[in-house]
Amino acid sequence: MPELPPAVRGFGVTFKTMFKKVVTEQYPEQADRFPPKPRFHGRHQLNRWPDGLEKCVGCELCAWACPADAILVEGADNTDTERFSPGERYGRVYQINYLRCIFCGLCIEACPTRALTMTNVYELADDNRADLIFEKSELLAPLLPGMIAPPHSMVPGTTEKDYYAGQVSGSVPEQEPDGDAAIWFEKQGYKA
């Protein structure tokens, strides 16, 4: 069989490819056609207990584990009038610097309370550096039905151990911001 001229032969690849399945993703127009895999390492989330209290105890183990030094945590005392998590300590400051984060997930493994997990959200682009340092307010999981925004008391009659043992399934009316927490809001200048 006589050889085709090289110029024509080159088009062979083109023709073959024309009949193959297209792998190009139309991003962002059709982004939701190709969701990431369930275990994809995306943006972090700070989880809550079923009643809305935060799971983070401010232990900084995530910051310690982080190979990129992307996490900053400062702990503080819960008080009777200002409670953010069950137990004594909560994370007052929580920042993740997504300019540094390499999404390795070591922080997730380090977290002793499963407060920190990763979502599948990968759209983390911005036009300035400051906005890529996520604060606690941005990282906290949204309030689901049955949750009340902290600060508020623990479910009456429970201890932190009950939270860890899964004994708390949601908030109760006593935790609504008209008791202890209302005092806090008042102190902060909010109207309940």
Partner 1 sequence: MTLAPHQTSVQPVDTVTVSVDGIEVRVPKGMLIIRVAELMGIEIPRFCDHPLLDPVAACRMCLIEIDGQGQPQPACAQTVTDGMVIKTQRTSELAKEAQEGVMEFLLLNHPLDCPVCDKGGECPLQNQAMTVGRPEARFDEKRRTFPKPINVSAQILLDRERCVSCARCTRFADQIAGDPMLELLERGAQQQVGIGPDAPFDSYYSGNTIQICPVGALTSSLYRFRSRPFDLVSTPTACEHCASGCALRTDVRRGVITRRLAWDDPEVNEDWNCDKGRFAFLYTADGRVETPLVREDGRLRVASWPEALDTAAHGLAAARGRAGVLTGGRLTREDAYAYAKFARLALGTNDIDFRNRVSGDEEAQFLASMVAGRRLGPTYSDLDHAPLVLLAGLETEDESPIIFLRLRKAVRSHGLRVQAISAVRTRSLDKLQASWWACQPGNEAWALRQIIDGPQGADALAGLRQPGAVILIGERLAGVPGALSAAAALADATGAKLGWVPRRAGERGALDAGALPGLLPGGRQVTDEGARAQVAAVWGVRSDVLPSRIGRSSSQVIAAIRSDAARADADSEPAVQALLVAGLDVEDSPEAGAFRQALDEVPFLVAVSTHHNEVTERADVVFPSAVVAEKAGGFTDWEGRVRSFGPAIRESSSVADGRILAMVADVMEVPFGTGDVASLRAELDSLTPSTVTRAAAPQVASSAAPTPESGYALLATWRLLLDRGRLQEGEPHLAATARPTEAVMSRATANSLGVANAATVTLSTARGSVTLPLAIGDVADGAVWAPLNSEGCALLGIGATYGSVVRVTGGAR
Residues 6+ apart with CB under 8 A from 171: 50, 51, 52, 146, 147, 148, 152, 155
Binding status of residue 59 toward partner 1 by CB under 8 A: yes
Binding status of residue 107 toward partner 1 by CB under 8 A: no
Pick the binder of partner 1 from 43, 53, 83, 113 (CB under 8 A): 113
Pick the binder of partner 1 from 89, 119, 138, 141 (CB under 8 A): 89
What is the identity of the amino acid at 33?
R
Pick the binder of partner 1 from 44, 54, 55, 57 (CB under 8 A): 57
Residue 91 or 177 with smaller CB distance to partner 1 = 91
What is the distance, to the nearest Å, from the Cα of residue 143 to the centroid of all Cα atoms in its chain? 13
Residue 5 DSSP symbol: P
Question: Stretches 44-52, 58-66, 116-124, 167-175: which one binds partner 1 (CB under 8 A)?
Answer: 58-66
- The DSSP H or E segment spanning 44 is strand 44-46
For residue 105, give the nearest of 62, 139, 134, 137 by alpha carbon.
Answer: 62
For residue 116, give the nearest of 166, 50, 51, 47 by alpha carbon.
Answer: 47
Pick the binder of partner 1 from 112, 126, 169, 186 (CB under 8 A): 112
Binding status of residue 68 toward partner 1 by CB under 8 A: no
Which parts of this chain interact with partner 1 (CB under 8 A)?
57-61, 63-64, 74-77, 87-89, 112-113
